[in-house]
Amino acid sequence: MALVDPPGADAFPSKISHMVLIGVIDLVAGAFFGLITAHTAVNPKFISTTSTWMFFVSLGLLYLGTVYHTSRLPDVPREFKKQENDFSAAYGEHRQ
């Protein structure tokens, strides 16, 4: 969502910081998974609490990215009507 700017949409303002934060969350989650899978002596309460917070932060980032992505798209009904009118005008010129 953040890396692709659809035609007619505004640019996503914080692409790099959004993706870096997601990357950090992924790396930490991967490290926790690796520690647990390797049966390393870890503090399960710390990992559980941190994982829960990371899950909610990830959900928040997903929500913000989705809401901002849909809000920056052009008005769809107006865009469809514009395309329809452009096509009708081009077709009318072609037929004359």
3-13 mean pLDDT: 71
- pLDDT, tens digit, for every residue of 55-88? 898 898 888 878 877 777 767 788 788 889 889 9
Dihedral sign (CA 10, 16, 17, 19):
positive
Task: Quote the number of domains for the chain.
Answer: 1
The reported pLDDT for the residue numbered 1 is 59
Domain span holding position 67: 14-71
Place of tokens 């692409």: 15
What's the pTM? 0.59
18 located within any domain: yes
Determine, yes or no, domain membership for 65: yes
